[in-house]
Chains A and B, each alone.
Chain A
């Protein structure tokens, strides 16, 4: 296999992610006891594992490798990695602990696997490198927080073409330019996929290429590409390459639209278009006519694309818009201060004070002579007074509008 024969053995032979590669090499060069462990995140086929092996070899490390999707329980991990806590060398060679596919460690059956890893990170006398494909898993956050993260991206098509051409030249094989470009496009930034397809194509086996071409992408990646697409066809391809349930696609798009900064009219327009796809899902569920599902991605892409054009809608996991989040963050301190002061004065719970009394206090503060009385009575500090005035101003503007 060409992928094995041409697997880079030196960090400078890998392509793409130049800045991240350099940062990783520097991290390992400077590693000392008590330094953070590292976590390399990125899609498949971009050279994460290859980089770890190449850099380790270059810097004279013996790699102690474990595939975390095979060894997932605490007991098994302890058995395999426990000794590395005590020993820092192996036959007088430095040891690098390499845990591949750590995103596969999560799940109910894993029985403390993550806790063991976090503990190992703290106590290890050797550098630890972990590799994962996804960071969407909420449990990965624990690992992300306690490690130095290196994010890999897909490889630019131009670099993929360069690699494929180089291998073809060395193998003394040829592919016509159209086919080569097709392979590069379909590889979707995956070197392994591009090299495999090139090998098949150069051997003349066309059927296998179309099989290899049928790549799948993750839900988040699909939605990110969907919102970035410059053509309806691109938006459709992004949706169709992801095996997400149609209802989940609608839900994720709905949430992203909701958290985008849009004016009311535009929001209604987009939501109306989204509802067409939602109606189709409901109809399919009701009639059990599953054959209609084949039109779902097309309808979703074609109806939403014109409405989404020139908007700032992007995939968002959080349901609250940023400006609202910021307001909650900024206002929570004065709000809590006023509410607790109100609660003490009137023998209420803070919750009741905020929900039922505060709106009246805000209204009252706009009346003549009341503001000073409220400030004195509740002994409000400067930030709380500012908050009260700001809220009162908003309320009176709202009243005037209506």
Chain B
């Protein structure tokens, strides 16, 4: 199962205790209509363990590229061993954008766009 930080996702119904742990302890947001949301406040390490045990499948967490919005698989990153999984970053940059020469300027421009 792949979970993208900042995007709503759904899982099959889980027991009350598991739901409680996901929302209270791993700090996943829950909305009846939209499902679950992993945000910058979420303890992704704990969420992955709880979901992995409950759903009996491998849970992969992905971040969005701040520049192009593509989902990035952290497993492929050379820095995955130093990235903290308990408090994940709000976004990152993908391989493709990283190779652009003016990446720092593009990053700044993207933020300017968001400020509006």
Contact partner of B90 among A19, A25, A184, A322, CB < 8 A? A19
* B24 CB → nearest A CB, Å: 6
Contacts of A189 in B (CB 8 A): 84
**Known contacts A17-B90, A184-B79, A230-B81; is A22 also within 8 Å of B107 by CB?**
no
With contacts A181-B78, A184-B79, A322-B24 taken as known, whether A158 is within 8 angstroms of B98 at the C-beta atoms is yes
* Chain A hits for B81, CB < 8 A: 230-231, 234
Minimal beta-carbon separation of A231 from chain B (angstroms): 7
**A322 and B87 alpha carbons, distance in the complex (Å):** 20
Given A12-B111, A21-B111, A224-B86, the answer on whether A162 and B104 have CB atoms closer than 8 Å is yes
**Count, chain A residues at interface, CB 8 A:** 46
Q: Is B114 within 8 A of A162, CB to CB?
A: no
Shortest CB–CB separation between residue B100 and chain A, in angstroms? 10
**6 new A-B contacts at CB < 8 Å, known A16-B89, A20-B90:** A11-B111, A12-B111, A151-B41, A162-B104, A314-B86, A323-B17
Q: Does B4 contact A (CB under 8 A)?
A: no
Who on chain B is nearest to A155 by CB?
A: B89
Interface 9-residue window, one of B7-15, B30-38, B45-53: B45-53
- Least Cβ distance of A120 to chain B in Å? 28
Contact with B along A294-332 (1 / 0, CB 8 A): 000000000000000011101000000011001000000
Asked whether B91 is an interface residue with its Cβ less than 8 Å from the other chain, the reply is yes
Can you show 7 pairs from A to B with CB atoms below 8 A apart? A19-B90, A20-B90, A154-B89, A166-B103, A184-B79, A189-B84, A228-B85
Q: Does A175 contact B (CB under 8 A)?
A: no
Cβ contact of B93, chosen from A158, A188, A225, A311, cutoff 8 A: A158
Q: Mark A163-197, 1 if CB is under 8 A from B, else 0.
A: 10110000000000000010011001100000000
Q: Is A156 an interface residue (CB 8 A)?
A: yes
Q: How far is the CB of B93 from chain A (nearest CB, A)?
A: 5
- Do the beta carbons of B114 and A188 come within 8 Å of each other? no
Q: Ordered nearest first, which 10 A-B pairs have the shortest CB separation?
A: A157-B79, A166-B104, A12-B111, A156-B89, A228-B45, A12-B112, A12-B108, A19-B90, A228-B86, A156-B92
B29 within 8 A of A: no
Determine whether B1 belongs to the interface, using a CB cutoff of 8 Å to chain A: no
Residues of A within 8 A of B50 (CB): 312
Verify if B21 is at the interface (C-beta below 8 Å from A). yes
CA distance A87 to B57 in the complex (A): 61
Q: Is the CB of B85 within 8 A of A261?
A: no
> A90 in the interface, Cβ–Cβ < 8 Å?
no
Note all chain B residues with C-beta closer than 8 A to A16. 89-90
For B84, what are the chain A residues with a Cβ–Cβ distance below 8 Å? 154, 189, 224-225, 228
- Chain A 17-49 against B: per-residue CB contact (8 Å), 1 yes, 0 no? 111111001000000000000000000000000
- Is A158's CB under 8 angstroms from B86's CB? no
Q: Is A335 an interface residue (CB 8 A)?
A: no
Say whether A312 contacts B46, CB under 8 Å. yes
Question: Per a CB cutoff under 8 Å, which of B21, B40, B93, B112 touches A261?
Answer: B21
Interface string of B58-95 (1 = CB under 8 A from A): 00000000100000000001110111111101111100
